Structure 1
Amino acid sequence: MKKVVFLNVFFILFYIKSAAQVAADQPNVIFILADDMGYGDPGCYNAESKIPTPNMDRLAQEGMLFTNAHTASSVCTPSRYSFITGKYPWRSYLKKEVLWSTFNTPLIDKSEITIADIFKSKGYATAVIGKWHLGINFLKKKGFSFVKGKDWHESGLQGTRNVDFMSPSYGGPNDLGFDYFFGSGGGHNMEPYVFIENRYTKGLPTIWREKDQPTKEGISAREVHEGWMVQGWDDTTIGPTLTKKSLDFIETNAQSKKPFFLYLPTVSPHRPCTPPDFIKGKSQAGERGDMVAEFDWTVGQIMRKLEELGIMENTLLIVSSDNGGTPTSDDGKDYDHKSCGDLRGYKGSLYEGGHRVPFMVSWPSNVKAKTQTNELISVMDIYATFLDLMDLSDIKGDGISFLQILKDEKAKSQRTQMVHHTYSGKYALSYRNWKFIPSRSEKDGSWSYELFNLSEDPFETENLSKQIPEKVEELDSMLKSLINE
């Protein structure tokens, strides 16, 4: 009953303003999300980067670069949940870790108002092309229930065998406001190894891929889980395929004069690092660096297509990452490249390197070129920003709009605090210039604290918790209140 009432409110709220009322100048919107790209990977953030990123560098020059942007979590699944729903990740059933296969129970319920729902209510065509990683239900071959994904990675083992790939899937993007879905259910290191188009796999996976098994000789299979794979699967072609599908979606909607929202979550530079042949060797940071170069190539392809179609001026293009970078390439070497710059920590950490990410925006008709801001924002705030853009302020979430910053780089963020979350289920808090990290001992349950003044110590080197105990008490109380509100 509660769900029915919620949905009724949803339809009343969204469709009072008919999709036919979409203004002619309503911008197209594209969000390109890297998988594990760190703050120090693009050249526009790190002059000493070992990776060529000419397209992101150009995007930063032609638009706005954010130097204090964060993800809601320092790992992928919860970070993506926050973007789609505009809510902190612990609002979902996933209180820690990530989903470990395509087959996990969908993290987002169909009663949620997703970011795609927002755009559909305004007459947009909506698509997600890339890595979903929020759970999709597939039926069992025998019986009437859905298969269950593993609740822990088990070092890449325990792949799911009893899957009916002939039947449609449920609970994925097509049930959450996206008109079109093409991509992988859990990422290119997780089962099944096949593209999914809308509700069906592209072909029937009939080959059992073993843990850490490469798809061809000489490429990485780091962190690959066992599971079903379709004949002819090649990890090196995933990025170019997703890029081509995205270009087709953009062109189709541009020709029909219909505004569109494209969410493009790439698989690069996540492991296994398997750059295509035309990218391999482009960086000086190993195959992981090449994967970042591949991501940059994708950004460039999208930008060129927008220019070719004459729609660049009124397209809001955002490029960011789902969390911080990993420190090394698949061969264990760092190649003297700092994937998170001089920030402390990497992917999975509550330190800045785990969740402070590259974030750049181009929107030539509204965002001034060569602008930069250090105002605090979150990838989660994109949801609230689009609500603001669409004049749908009655819908609430945990995000805070940064639309005014886009229109005026001198504007101040309304966000004064940000709760950070990570793989282990632990929390941290940024409040103005302060960073607070509580930690509980597994031995005796006692608490210890870290406190940093980021304005004076951005690399989190000096713990001030014992010097300013009153600030620790204040921030500890604030963090608990924000989580429990």
Structure 2
Amino acid sequence: MKKSLLFFLLLGISINAFSQKEKQSKPNVIFIMADDMGYGDPQCYNSDSKIPTPNMNRLASEGMMFMNAHTASSVCTPSRYSFITGKYAWRSNLKREVLWSTYNDPLIDKSEVTIADMLKDQGYATAVVGKWHLGINFLKNQGFGYVQAKDWHEQGLKGTRDVNFMNPSYGGPNDLGFDYFFGSGGGHNMEPHVFIENRYTYGLPTIWREKGQPSKEGISASEVHEGWMVEGWDDTEIGPTLTEKSLQFIEENTALGKPFFLYLPTVAPHRPCTPADFAKGKSQAGERGDMVYEFDWSVGQIMEKLEELGIAENTILIVSSDNGATPTSDDGKNYGHNSCGDLKGFKASLNEGGHRVPFIVRWPSEVKPSTQNNGMISLMDIYATLSEVLGTEDPNGDGISFLSSLKNERAPAKRTEMVHHTYSGGFALTDGDWKIIPHRSNKDGSWDFELYNIKEDPNEKNNLSSKMPEKIKELMDKLNENISS
């Protein structure tokens, strides 16, 4: 009887161990997204960078740098939409600009299958820790109606006062496949100035913060909008808090033996540039540079935790940015630092500086260290790539898997063309070696064009439009076909 009991006990332990191994065979996935970090900010992309980025440098030496990676838009809300859905944001209701507060109606409908839905179906624990910026519904104080957000930024004015923070919110990450959410609804410069944990604010905002008011004396309040703020709010503590919450999520799910997906969209280095105390003065590029240093610190904290837990080998770690950089720090100076490197344009531009971004992937079990890939990819391709990694159904969006490029840096890129989109609602197209940017005159409705051989001229110095009218027609036909499909 005792032998029989021992046999079944050992059998149970073996089955459980096998089950845990099966669960852990799926790679963990972490995507750390900077907010306005440019191609020239990390030292591994720009040897002349005035910002120390030792952790991204190390990540690049241990993984693959993509040299031709693009965001789906050159501003934040549409870029985030495209990452989560695998689709161009102009297919949604957002045809131009960004959302201007947390309270906007959710841009992603519950019926859409998101990257978090897909991974959750595959047994993953899913979390977003950081800046959401895709709309969350909060109730008004009276009745059952949702707060109506301002439809334009109005220079940071027209903050919303009639908000019920006691009741749960709806339409945010918890309704779109994420098990856990901790972060800001619209970014640290937008209302309300409080963390949200799942469906509730992390404390009750009872203080009205004025436009341009710093959260404490002596720090920047550039681009800060008026709105409700929780007592004790400190902009300099946002980055460290988001990092700590991310580390907790990693630890908890590793202990459970469950694969996890962590999306960490930081607020750094977006304005207001309010680096944590440990990051102040660490760069030679002003407070914005210090914020990039802080972002790099967060990357390092995540890397250390993966190694401490022994799970780095089976974790896909991706670091990138939501769009290109701003040219200066909050004080209007660039300190001799080229935030977008030698690329033309900055955030909100259709030129390369607006949407070509750093993109580093480390996956030790599959990706060779110290490799570079020159093929074109997009942040919205991450969804399709992870679908292929896990053998799930193709998401049927605009994304194209780059798994073959991850496994072989010399493999030809599957993506050969991409539509670029920006704040004003304008479009551009890269098709193979060629890129076209159309400009319409407000006066007479006529068109001017920028035309570049982007392979030979990635810095867009030589506009060939006057010499190649047939190429312009060919590319404009393709662009119009794409945006009308």
For the criterion TM > 0.5, the same-fold answer is yes
Give the corresponding residue for 1:413: 413
Task: Report matched runs for 1:48-447 at 5 Å.
Answer: 48-447=48-447
Report how far residue 192 of structure 1 moved: 0.2
Preserved contact between residue 384 and residue 394 of structure 2 (Cα < 8 Å): no
Change in CA separation of 1:22 and 1:427 when aligned onto 2, cut-off 3 Å: farther
Shift of 1:25: 1.2
Give the ranges of 4+ consecutive aligned residues of structure 1 lying more than 2 Å apart after TM superposition.
19-24
Partner residue of 2:8?
A: none
Give the gaps of 5 or more residues in structure 2. 1-18
Q: Is the 8 A contact 2:23 2:258 kept in 1?
A: no
Q: Is the 8 A contact 1:84 1:115 kept in 2?
A: yes
Shift of 1:439: 1.1
Question: Shift in Å at residue 21 of structure 1?
Answer: 11
1:80 Cα deviation after fit: 0.1
Query: Bigger CA drift: 462-471 or 58-67?
Result: 462-471
How far off its partner does 1:462 sit?
1.4
Q: Hey, what's the Cα distance between the residues in 1 that align with 2:126 and 2:458? A: 38
SS of residue in 2 equivalent to 1:376: strand
Q: Is the CA contact 1:67–1:374 (under 8 Å) kept in the aligned structure 2? A: yes
Structure 2: distance between partners of 1:270 and 1:386:
28
Unaligned runs of 5+ in 1: 1-18
State the SS of the aligned residue for 1:190.
coil
Is the 1:22–1:123 contact (alpha carbons within 8 Å) kept by the matching residues of 2?
no
Tell me how far 1:124 sits from its aligned partner: 0.4
In structure 1, the residue corresponding to 2:357 is in which secondary structure?
Answer: coil
- Secondary structure at the aligned position of 1:375 is classed as strand
Structure 1 length normalisation: TM-score? 0.95
Give the conservation status (yes or no) of the 8 Å contact 2:383–2:395: no
Distance 2:30 2:319 in 1: 8
Task: Choose 431-440 or 309-318, whichever is displaced more.
Answer: 431-440
Q: Which has the larger radius of gyration?
A: 2
**Superposed displacement of residue 22, structure 1:** 6.1
CA apart distance, 1:395? 2.8
Deviations 1:362-414 (A, max 9, x none): 00011000110110000010011011112123430000000111111111111
1:36 matched to 2:25? The reply is no
1:289 partner letter = G
Residue matched to 2:11: none
Question: How far 1:20 sits from its partner (Å)?
Answer: 10
Q: Which residue of 2 aligns with 1:3?
A: none
SS of equivalent to 2:313: coil
Identity over aligned pairs, percent: 73
Corresponding residue pairs, total: 467
Q: AA paired with 1:419?
A: V
How far 1:143 moved relative to its partner?
A: 2.1
How has the CA–CA distance of structure 1 residues 66 and 178 changed in structure 2, closer, same or farther, with 3 Å as cutoff? same
Task: Please give the secondary structure, in 2, of the residue aligned with 1:374.
Answer: strand
For 1:175, the aligned partner's letter is D
Distance (whole Å) between structure 1 residues aligned to residue 211 and residue 229 of structure 2: 12
Deviations along 1:423-475, one digit per CA (max 9) or x if unpaired, are 00000001111110011111111111110011221111111112011100000
Provide the residue aligned with 1:471 in structure 2.
Answer: 471
2:205 aligned partner, one-letter code: P
Cα distance in 2 for residues equivalent to 1:393 and 1:430: 28
Deviations 1:23-47 (A, max 9, x none): 5411000000000000000000000
Query: What CA distance in whole angstroms lies between the structure 1 residues aligned with 2:394 and 2:292?
Result: 39
- Compared with structure 1, are the counterparts of its residues 329 and 255 closer, same or farther at alpha carbon in structure 2 (3 Å cutoff)? same
CA drift of 1:219 comes to 0.2
Contact 1:130 1:183 in 2 (8 A): yes
Partners in 1 of 2:201 and 2:300 — Cα distance?
A: 28
Q: TM-score, normalised by structure 2?
A: 0.95
Amino acid of the structure 1 residue aligned with 2:115? I
Root-mean-square deviation over aligned CA pairs: 1.1
